[in-house]
Amino acid sequence: MIRPTPAIEAIPATTPFVGPEQLMREAGLRRLVRLGANESPFGPSPKAIAAMSAELERLGWYGDPESLDLRDALAQKHGCNQQQIVVGSGIDDVMGLAVRAFVAPGGVVLTTRGTYPTLNYHAIGYGARLEFADYRPDGTPDLDALLEIARRLRPALVYLANPDNPSGRFIGRDDMNRFCSALPHDSLLLLDEAYADFVATRDLLPLRIEERVIRMRTFSKAYGMAGARIGYGVTAESNVRTFQKIRLHYGINRNAQVGALASLADDAFRDRVVAATARARSDYYALASELGCGFIESCTNFVCLDMETAARATQVVNDLLRRGVWVRKPGAPPLDRYVRVSAGTEPMRRAFAGALRQVVAEVPA
């Protein structure tokens, strides 16, 4: 009889995100307007596509396990050195490494209730004790509440997404500076900046290399390479050396490295995506006004539309899916009354708007 370890057996069977492919199979849908995972409908930079296309014939070779060329380019971008960068198969991977490396079983992981669930997945997976601060009523992560709990419980790890997911809110550099300084110095801050490319750099917390902060970035959002699975963390070299002991050295696709490197050399493309994303947000705001829904102004590539109650938001999501439009909704109050829709192309936005108008008219408020 083969049994998992007691720690693994104790983990409840959960899936952080059901993928659209499974939803399509279950619903018998052949096409889906994908607006549920904050993917970029604009895809990768044409320069990245060209570089990856040319590289496909060399896919028989493993990728560089150290991502040396990419880390050189990232170090240049961030004004640090490459020993301060860890590359992973997306931020999810870096997040898992951070929990594994820095949170002993029973250690406390502090996060905001209802933000990115994959952090919770890793925390549960490594036997951590999850503690939550609630969002402020307006959907902003509550830095004061996080600090209060952090001072009391001295968590091994504090997670914050900024810009935040799923609200789309952004916390400016002054507030962030105060927050970082006030955190207990033995708590590691895991700062998820997946959506930072949609914010002006001058508004972001300046980069200071510190052992107690890991800043995570990704090529999945503005760079349009979610399918490639490549992201990274910037932190003190000592932390990168720790990750080096446990990370999957050959885990990152060769072509993902090549595409990421080419993407970094195409700022103009990223800027066009950021501008197109802003137009998508404006469209969603206008749609919300037309339908008389509230919404949260977003600094990301998605917008939360207020459906007034969680039950109605759930029904709207389900009804949209039946019409072939896939969006998601936050799982916890106060944001669970919202539907979260990702920035689509114009045709995708039209499809969403058409379906939402029908659904909102049918589902009683």
> What residues between 1 and 40 interact with a copy of itself by CB under 8 A?
1-9, 11-17, 19, 21-22, 25, 34, 37, 39-40
CA distance 229 to 303: 23
What angle, 0 to 180 degrees and rounded to 10, lies between the N-to-C axes of helices 346-362 and 267-291? 20
271 binds a copy of itself (CB under 8 A): no
- Token representation of residue 20: 């659209």
Report the residue number, 68 or 182, with the smaller CB distance to a copy of itself: 68
By the rule CB under 8 A, 59 interacts with a copy of itself: yes
CB 236 within 8 A of CB 84: yes
136: which DSSP letter? P
Judged by CB under 8 A, the residue of 172, 206, 251, 331 near a copy of itself is 251
Q: How far is CA 321 from CA 33, 306, 326, in A?
A: 9, 18, 5
Q: Which of residues 78-97 bind a copy of itself (CB under 8 A)?
A: 89-90, 92-93, 96
| Interaction of residue 265 with a copy of itself, rule CB under 8 A | no
Q: Which of residues 205-224 bind a copy of itself (CB under 8 A)?
A: 211-212, 220, 224
* Residue 331: partners with Cβ closer than 8 Å, 6 or more residues away: 114, 117
Residue list 231-250, contact with a copy of itself (CB under 8 A): 239, 241-242, 244-246, 248-250
Does residue 255 interact with a copy of itself by CB under 8 A?
yes
Tokens linked to 187: 């708590």
Pick 47 or 312: Cβ nearer a copy of itself: 47
Length of the chain: 365
- Does residue 164 contact residue 150 with C-beta atoms inside 8 Å? no
Closer residue to a copy of itself (CB): 59 or 268: 59
Give me the 143-182 binding string for a copy of itself, x by CB under 8 A, dash otherwise.
----------------------------------------
Site for a copy of itself in 286-345 (CB under 8 A): none
Question: Which parts of 123-142 interact with a copy of itself (CB under 8 A)?
Answer: 125
Are the CB atoms for 33 and 336 separated by under 8 Å? Answer: no
Reduced 3-state DSSP string for 304-339: EEECCCHHHHHHHHHHHHHCCEECECCCCCCHHHEE
Nearest to 196 by CA among 239, 164, 230: 164
Nearer to a copy of itself, 253 or 298 (CB): 253
Cα 293 to its chain centre, rounded Å, is 25
Shortest separation between residue 7's beta carbon and a copy of itself, angstroms? 7
Compare residues 9 and 292 and give the one whose CB is closer to a copy of itself: 9
| 186 touching a copy of itself, by CB under 8 A | yes
In the list 82, 120, 253, 300, the residue contacting a copy of itself (rule: CB under 8 A) is 253
